[in-house]
Every structure is written in structure tokens, then in C-alpha cells.
Chain A
Amino acid sequence: MPVKVENLTHVYMKDSVFEHVAIDNISFEIQDGEFIGIIGHTGSGKSTLIQHLNGLLKPSSGKVFIDGSELGSKDVQMKKIRQKVGLVFQYPEYQLFEETVYKDVAFGPRNLGLSEDEVEGRVRKAIELVGLDFDSISNVSPFELSGGQKRRVAIAGVLAMEPKVLILDEPAAGLDPKGRDEILRGFKTLHEKQKITVVLVSHSMEDIANLVDKVLVMNKGKIAFFDTPRNVFREAETLEKIGLGVPQVTYLVKMLRERGFDLADCINIDEAKNELLKLFKR
């Protein structure tokens, strides 16, 4: 199994007046090829958690395993782990720095010591995976691109490392609705075609409902739920108490049921449409 977290605890500024338990003894597993969503309000421990998954942070106690290797143990090379687990931070376009798109995306693979042919192959593939045209864009300065294009180039830089697990921290923040849909659909396609494991941190319940197999809900450093979106979004009251919510159509169906409509749970527009049509067209 690629990702296993065992009794993980992380304490910031331990033994000081600012001591803060960000992650409080959590355990979970992510299987190969799963698409996982992580939701939780600011300060719930999401970012702290994902930084443990490629060893940027060390656990205060507990263990993290990637493909069976325990992070931080002597015989595990962190460089290898970071190749396997690609992390895309928030606003990754701020990390672009090269003169051309090609050079920027090639930076990671070149540092792996690959031949220039292999580097080019990977750059081409990564740029195409994020939905950009290699021939027209590779020699352009990344700083001349639009916000959405910059974001894609930055993500291509991580994909060019060919990670087995891709972690995305709010990849659509600040994009317009069309850009958001395109980039998220891209991840879904990537997940389906390349069979990579994807972990998506998001504040959008609608996006989570449309994309993921399972959703991990964080609250005060603990796991509140780890289940399918359908099961998790049944808990509207609990989710609201911890500063989250459910998709708008889920609220709609819930309110209609309270008024005596006979409808099944819905987490997206298509489901709600079909349920309502069944009811009104008979």
C-alpha cells in the first residue's frame, strides 16, 4: 500500500507557551490508485498532515510509511520518497523561476540526472497532461502566461517527476470557474489514465463531491470522518459544526425531504436532476 499513517501526532513549538497540537494521534491508509479528498477548516491540520506525507515535516510521534518504507528511518532515502510523492503547494505559480516554460518544467527531471532525451520526453508529456500545447508554449517565458496557465506549468513541473502519489493543496484557489473545472478535470483524467494516487485538499464541497472516491475530514487535528462523499455529506449538521458544509444540491434535497418529498441522497446536480425528474414525471 502506498501511504500508511500510524498514530501520527505533530506538536508545534513543543514545551513553549505557544505549544500547539496540530495533529492528534491519527491513523489511516490510502490504497494504490485512490482519489482522496481532504477537507477541514483553517487550522484543522490539513497542511500539517500533507507535509508529513513526503517528509517535509517529521512526526512528533507516530509513523508514516510510503510503499512500506518508514519515513525518517536510516535506510530510507528521502530523495527517493520525494520523487514518489509529489506535493503541489498552494499558489505553485509563485515558484516558477526559469526563463522558459520548458526549462522550468525540466528543472526537476534534470536534477534526477536523466539524459536530455529522457528529460525532453518527460517535459513534453507533463505539459500535455496539464492540457497545454508543448510546441507553442515551451519557449515562452512563464511570466507572460495567464494565471491559469502559470498554475498548469507549475503543476507540470511536479508531474515531470512522475510521482506515484500526487498531493495537491487547493490547486484551484483563485482560478475562475472555467479554469477550476478544467484543471480539476485534468487531475481526474490523469488519475484514470496514469493510475496514480491523488490527494486533493479543497475548500469546495462541490468539487469534492464530483471528484473523489473517499474524503478525509479533519477537525482539531483529528479525523472526523474518512468515508465516501455520499456517506460523509449525509452528516450535514456535524460538518457545519466543524466549519464545513455540504454541496448546495445536498442541502436542497435534505430540505425537500423534510417537507415530505421522497428523494434519495444527492451530492451533485445530475443526481438531483434525475431524482427530481423521477418524482415529477411519474
Chain B
Amino acid sequence: MIKAENVRFEYSTQSGGISLALDDININISKGEFVAILGHNGSGKSTLAKHFNALLLPGVGTVYVKGMDTKDESLLWNIRQTAGMVFQNPDNQIVATIVEEDVAFGPENLGIPPAEIRERVDNSIKTVDMIEYAKHSPHLLSGGQKQRVAIAGIIAMKPECIILDEPTALLDPIGRREVLNTIMKLNEEEGITIVLITHYMDEAIKAGRIYVMKNGKIIMEGKPKEVFKEVETVKNAGLDVPQVTELSHRLSREGLTLPPDILTVEEMVVELCRLK
């Protein structure tokens, strides 16, 4: 679905210098996968995400979205329709004064017939569980609700892949859970490929696969259990591991026999009960 080959990207700074944001990135994301990208601030993860729907083009190397080279301008709208993007702040993504009109904005611009727009809008709003708010004004909704409206606006365009750049950073715990559940549902039930950029480790552990970035490079790749058991490497990348993973890591160092790849409270309970 998304493939990056030897991608390099440079920003020029105001003072005339050059900073290397992406350094020889190779990524291959298959259709239907749920992939999380982690990395410290400035590690290049948002820059990379913007390459996935041609908001940025690689300086060196190539990015393919469903086989389409993002450098080919004639494919731009196809690419953007295939790979939709959700950003951090829902307030910057909502354009209309009524929820359902906002969701209709994308399909309208695709020139879709009105009857089908109606159907797509209704379905999208239903998918994100916002039916009762369809006629509401978005600015009175909570952060989590607004973000789900933004997601509905993307799914109404029927993308095969959705890239979410820290969609929960501004949300409270309930809002985060709502959005994460929506993302997982889109992946599991609709088969949409998900690329989730996040700072929250509890979100990353839900992904099928994780890429960890540091200073413009990918330094780790694998299933959540494979990645988080490397507690020191993850921490050196400016990231964190779930509290129970850290706890089991520290207890292991004190001589308790615990597996290195515990990620959830439930797993930890099972292991400790076994030890008792």
C-alpha cells in the first residue's frame, strides 16, 4: 500500500543551514495493516507522514502509494484520495458549521452525485458513532468528538489508507479512547490500512507493527512485543515503555523470572500469579 525507498528529505533553516529530516528511509506497509510510527519530537515522523499523501515529495528516493509514484503530478488527486490524512488539531480540519455538511465537503469536491454523497455521509457518521450529532454545530463538540468528525470526513472519501498524525495529542483520556477505538474499528471492520503517528505507548501497543524513528532514521521495526522488550533502546530514542513493561524489566534485574515482553496489566497479573 505504501512503500518508501531510500527516501531523503532536507529542510533549509532560516539561518541558511540545512537540516536532514529524513535519512535513507525504507518502509513497506501492506494493505490492511495497522502500523504505528513512534519517535521523539523532531525525529522526522510527521515529515515522513506528509510524504505518504504527497504533501511533501522526497528529495532523494521514491514513495509509492498503491504503486503510484508521489512525484507524478498527474496522479496527485488519486494519491490523496487513496491515502487520507488526519492531523493533530481537529479545529484546523473542520470547515463547515454543521457536522454532516463538514463530512460532505470531501465527497462534494470529488464530484460525486448527491444521492451517493448522502449515503457516504450517513455511513461515515455512523462508523464514527456520531449519528446523534449529525445536525449539530462542530464547535460545540468535545475534542474527541471533533476528531471523530474529522475522521468521518476522511472516510467519506473512501480512502484505502488513513494516516493519522498524533490525532489524540490534544484529547482527554475518554476522547483518546473514543478515537483509538474508531481507528481500530476502521482497520478491523473496513479493512482500511492505518498509519498512526503517536507519542502514546498504550496506543502503539494496539498496532500490528511499529517503526521507531530517531534523528531522521528508522532505528527499530517489529511487533509491539519485539520493540518494547528493548526497554533501553526505546528510552534512548526519547520514548517510553508502558509502566508494567518497565516494572517487569526492573523486577527481572532484581532476579525475578519474568518474560521481557509484557505490555499490559493483564499479562503482568498472569505472570506474577504464576510466580507466586
Contacts and interface: CB of A to CB of B under 8 A. Distances in A.
B173 A146 contact: no
Interface residues of A, number: 38
Interface size class on chain B is: 35 or more
Contacts of A173: 169-170
Given A247-B243, A259-B273, A269-B246, A176 B251 contact: no
Interface in A1-15: none
A208 to B, nearest CB: 12
A252 B265 contact: yes
B41 A42 contact: no
A276 interface: yes
Given A249-B244, A256-B272, A269-B250, A42 B171 contact: yes
Nearest to B144: A42
Given A203-B173, A247-B243, A252-B265, A175 B41 contact: yes
Contacts of A245: 173
B265 A251 contact: yes
Nearest to B14: A144
A172 to B, nearest CB: 10
A243 B14 CA distance: 44
A206 interface: yes
Interface in B200-246: 201, 235, 238-240, 242-244, 246
Nearest to B200: A177
A176 B273 contact: no
A163 interface: no
B272 A261 contact: yes
A147 interface: yes
B251 A273 contact: yes
A277 B39 contact: no
A243 B173 contact: yes
A82 to B, nearest CB: 26
Contacts of B268: 252
A263 to B, nearest CB: 10
B75 to A, nearest CB: 32
Contact of A176 (B40, B144, B170): B40
Contacts of A147: 41-42
Contacts of B39: 176
A156 B266 CA distance: 42
B132 interface: no
Contact of A273 (B142, B173, B250): B250
Nearest to A140: B15
A177 B173 contact: no
Contacts of B247: 249, 252, 269, 272-273, 276
A209 B13 CA distance: 40
B178 to A, nearest CB: 11
Nearest to B199: A176
A147 B39 CA distance: 13
B153 interface: no
A64 to B, nearest CB: 25
A43 B199 contact: no
Contact of A42 (B42, B172, B242, B266): B172
A243 B251 CA distance: 31
B96 interface: no
A276 B276 contact: no
Nearest to A270: B250
A222 B184 CA distance: 34
Interface in B32-90: 39-43, 88
Contacts of A273: 247, 250-251, 254
B18 interface: no
A42 B246 contact: no
Nearest to B275: A280
B112 interface: no
B117 to A, nearest CB: 30
12 contacts: A42-B172, A42-B175, A147-B42, A174-B199, A176-B40, A176-B43, A179-B238, A256-B273, A259-B269, A277-B251, A277-B254, A280-B276
A-B interface, 7 closest residue pairs, ranked by CB to CB distance from nearest: A177-B240, A178-B238, A248-B243, A176-B40, A243-B174, A42-B172, A147-B41
Interface of B: 13-15, 39-43, 88, 142-144, 166, 169-175, 199, 201, 235, 238-240, 242-244, 246-247, 250-251, 254-256, 265-266, 268-269, 272-273, 275-276
Given A141-B15, A176-B40, A178-B238, 19 more contacts: A41-B174, A42-B174, A146-B41, A176-B43, A243-B172, A243-B174, A245-B173, A248-B243, A248-B244, A252-B243, A252-B265, A255-B265, A269-B243, A273-B250, A273-B254, A277-B254, A277-B256, A280-B275, A280-B276
